[in-house]
Chain A
Amino acid sequence: MKRLLSRNETLVAITIIGLILLIGLNNPSFFSLGNIFTLLRTSVVTGILAMGVLIVIVSGGIDVSFTAIAVFGLYVAVKLMKAYMPDAPIWVGFVIASVVGLGLGLINAFFIAQFRLPTLIVTLGTLSMFQGFLLFAIGNEIIRAVPPSMKSFARAAIVRIPMTRGTANLHPAILITIAAIIVTWLLLNYTMLGRGIYALGGSREAAERAGFNVTRIQYFIYGFVGLLSGIAGMTFGSLARQANPQDIVGTELNVIAAVVLGGAQLTGGYGTVLGTVLGVILVVIANSSLILIGVPTVWQRVVIGLIILVGTGIPAIQARRKGKRTVGLADI
């Protein structure tokens, strides 16, 4: 019981329940199926991106370029589809975006693994580079006339429930997020590669001594993040029915916040898929539902900031207290 309570996931879950009750009791429409489906739809992109960010953070690195990769993948995919295969099905777009994302992710990996550069510096650089290159060389105007397959995908639904006013639709894109979650979970918990990522985050030197190929692991990590970002970008564009080269970039911190709230530590080695999913839910609810209880949009950012401060502050203080106690014991 004590173990369960001290887990970060429990803390986040309690916060979520508290927030849901707070919002729902003040505005019952929060509990409507329509709103829940909308919330799920809103978490789709953040959810996919968070899985990528999770494995980077677990490995002891950080990636801030993933949003640029996402929008890059989206824009290139839409542009290519429009130019060469306007009638292609939606999965073609996803494949293009993934391949582009993977390629850009491998560029990150190259700098990080080959030259052992700090991950924050590399990805800060590539964030700017990728977006600059996109705007300068590929295009800077918003593409509103997206291929028809994207338009129909935007309207698709796996569940349609008629409501008093309109219908509540559950969008199939949630399946992509669920797939990303399951793949990441299996990867982290049941493959040696995944354990290698934890090992790398725990102690790089020990990981090398144990025989992990750290370079290969890093290539995988940043490649995987790139791939997921490409998919996330395409999903975003399909839901928004447009490809705007200025979109997504700027939301990095939201995603990183969700992952950190979920218990991943920026120093590496810690973080779970479950925690990250909870972190995403918390951030999405705070971002989109506070308005239901009359918190103005501008204040939402303040609330999010507060949740992050408290949410990451409490475990940090707990850890330090625990640390102090052990020091005391050794000393006395």
Chain B
Amino acid sequence: MAKPCVGYLFSYEIFSKNHQSTYLRSEWEFISMADELLRLNGIYKSFAGVRALQGVDLTIERGKINCLVGENGCGKSTLIKIIAGVYKRDAGEIIINGKEYEDLHPIDAIREGIQVIYQDFSLFPNLTVAENIALNEELANGRRLVSWRNVNRIAKDALAKVEVDIPLKARVEEMSVANKQLIAIAKALRQNAQLIIMDEPTSALTEREVSTLFSVIRRLQKQHGIAFLFVSHKLNEVLEISEKMIVMRNGRVVSSGDRSEYDNARLIFEMTGRRITEKSYDFTPDLNQPPLLRVEGLSAEKVLNDIQFELRRGEIVGVTGLLGSGRTQLALALFGMLPTDNGRVYIDEEEVVITSPQDAIQHGIGYVPEDRLTEGLFLEQSISNNVVVRIIDRLRNSMGLLQTRQVKEQANYWVEALSIKTSDPELPVKTLSGGNQQRVVLAKWLASKPRLMILNGPTVGVDVGSKEELHEMIKHLAGEGMGILLISDDIPELLQTCNRILLMRRGHISEEILPKETNENELSAKLIEE
């Protein structure tokens, strides 16, 4: 076993100056052994010399809802896998239900009632709901033959505990993400779960689905005494559901304690180790210049209704609205991906017709889609290939062949300019974290020097620190004269980044709001009012 590295004690001391560390100690003394479901002492774990966990201490009590927050790469996932027995720790103690485990295997964790629901849910899309719920149990019982009656009984029983109504005979692939999650929970319950660990459970859920999930979680906690460990970086949700907070940074638990001691600002501070203060974006229009983009009466059947607005050089205009308000459709229409029935679009006061992405690109419009993984990037391809894909024509020599040196120069330039964290631009994009992938998408568009960038949810799934850096980058681009249309439902993001916000409702721009004249609460209230 590797010994804890002495060098890290130094940085630990810095953190212990924060008041919460003392709290951490005293809390342990009060927890009686009987309430303790899981205790980790000084867990260390390295991968090929990179320290992922550096002495994690953690306790989880029975029947409590815990939230584990931290930026990407802080060691959350590694920690979960150590608790689940998937990874072996290098050093430290794991005590589950009062029993110390020298060598924790996945099967031990399951027997002790620890269930992990991964982001992909580990469900079989091609099998029925009933079978998905019952399969693990049947397998664990060493059955060789399938009793369909038994399968249905198990599934019915499990879904009754969750108190949701999901058709047993339907295939899982037909289910929404929210239902898949409930199925995964039902499956976990059948295996005598004491502690359910959920990895980023809300990342693909709508607001209503999140509240259903939360009520299910609360009920299971109350009626069955099940503890939860919620891993997330959505701070507002974390603050809503949790009873106990656990914050990780750089492979350590830097702070933990009762929910009541935390608010948004403190969580951000603990996660990033610095105070993040974003200044709002100031913009004074130069009225002598024509607007960069002017949209008049833009309509598309059922989704867009008489859209009218202007956008000037250097402006960051936010577009917000609930799902279904038409905010994404507006972007798609401007980028030529959604046919419109009516309306005119002017660029520099010259009318343009955009019926395909090619047209839009020709007029200097760039679009960073919401789902960068499927629409914005070639994940298997290298970072540098992704960066130059939009300008590949410009990098050809007279023979029509690609000039590899120029490709490299471009890639290196953008990797540096957007501080994309990678050891080598030739590595595939999928090796990057979410925030860095988003930068590659940006780089790809910036390389082609667009005049108008449409950004759809640019910081979805990006953690707090990177988010701030992306915002700064967006402001910088606007400062250099690019026009930016920022589509988002992240209210703080809109207020901090935009100089104007367009609120959409049922395909129509219902209001124009100036960030200076509103605040978070007012804007969220406006967002949901009918």
Contact = CB atoms under 8 A, between A and B. Distances in A.
A207 B131 CA distance: 13
Given A191-B144, A331-B324, A211 B136 contact: yes
A192 interface: yes
Contact of A193 (B123, B124, B125, B144): B144
A64 B139 CA distance: 31
Contact of B146 (A191, A203, A270, A332): A191
Nearest to B134: A195
Contacts of A198: 124, 126-127
A201 B143 contact: no
A2 interface: no
A212 interface: yes
B126 A192 contact: no
B14 interface: no
B140 A211 contact: yes
A331 B138 contact: no
A192 B324 contact: no
Interface string A167-209: 0000000000000000000000111111100110111011101
Contact of A202 (B126, B143, B328, B329): B126
A201 B125 CA distance: 10
B146 A195 contact: yes
Contacts of A270: 126
A59 to B, nearest CB: 11
A199 B127 contact: yes
Contacts, number: 63
Interface in B473-496: none
Contacts of A269: 124-126
Contact of B122 (A195, A201, A209): A209
A203 B171 CA distance: 14
Contacts of A201: 126
A137 interface: no
B401 interface: no
B135 interface: yes
B290 to A, nearest CB: 33
A4 interface: no
Contacts of B127: 195, 198-199, 202
B139 A211 contact: yes
A210 interface: yes
A202 B145 contact: no
B126 A210 contact: no
B122 A210 contact: yes
Contacts of B123: 203, 206
Given A269-B125, A269-B126, A210 B135 contact: yes
A192 B138 contact: yes
Given A199-B135, A210-B139, A332-B324, A192 B146 contact: yes
Contacts of A332: 302-303, 324, 329
A275 to B, nearest CB: 14
B144 A192 contact: yes
B323 interface: yes
Q: Is the interface of B mostly helix, strand, loop or mixed?
A: loop
Interface residues of B, number: 23
A189 B146 contact: yes
A102 B302 CA distance: 60
Interface in B285-330: 302-303, 323-324, 328-329
A202 B124 contact: yes
A332 B323 CA distance: 6
B124 A212 contact: no
Contacts of B140: 211
A268 to B, nearest CB: 8
A199 B139 CA distance: 12
B122 A190 contact: no
A192 B136 CA distance: 11
A252 to B, nearest CB: 25
Interface string A246-284: 000000000000000000000011100000000000000
Interface in B110-137: 120, 122-127, 131, 135-136
A206 B324 CA distance: 33
A206 B122 contact: yes
Given A191-B146, A192-B139, A212-B139, A203 B303 contact: no
Interface in B217-234: none
B141 to A, nearest CB: 10
A190 B146 contact: yes
Contacts of B138: 192
A220 B402 CA distance: 49
B145 A191 contact: yes
Nearest to A265: B126
Name the residue among A190, A205, A206 with the largest chain B CB count within 10 angstroms: A206
B143 A210 contact: no
Given A190-B146, A210-B135, A203 B122 contact: yes
A234 B125 CA distance: 38
Contacts of B122: 203, 205-206, 209-210
Contacts of A330: 323
A2 B275 CA distance: 58
Nearest to A268: B126
A10 B291 CA distance: 59
A199 B124 CA distance: 6
B511 to A, nearest CB: 21
Given A331-B328, A332-B303, A195 B125 contact: no
Contacts of A195: 127, 131, 135, 146
Contacts of B120: 205-206
Contacts of B135: 195, 199, 210
A36 B123 CA distance: 44
Name the residue among B123, B124, B144 with the largest chain A CB count within 10 angstroms: B124
A276 to B, nearest CB: 16
Name the residue among A189, A193, A195, A201 with the largest chain B CB count within 10 angstroms: A195
A270 B126 CA distance: 7
A268 B391 CA distance: 38
28 contacts: A191-B146, A192-B143, A192-B144, A193-B144, A194-B146, A195-B135, A195-B146, A198-B124, A198-B126, A198-B127, A199-B124, A202-B124, A202-B126, A203-B125, A205-B122, A206-B123, A210-B122, A210-B135, A211-B139, A212-B139, A269-B125, A269-B126, A270-B126, A331-B324, A331-B328, A331-B329, A332-B303, A332-B324
Nearest 7 Cβ contacts at the A-B interface? A269-B126, A202-B124, A202-B126, A206-B122, A332-B324, A209-B122, A211-B139
Given A190-B145, A191-B144, A192-B138, 6 more contacts: A190-B146, A191-B145, A192-B143, A202-B125, A205-B122, A332-B302
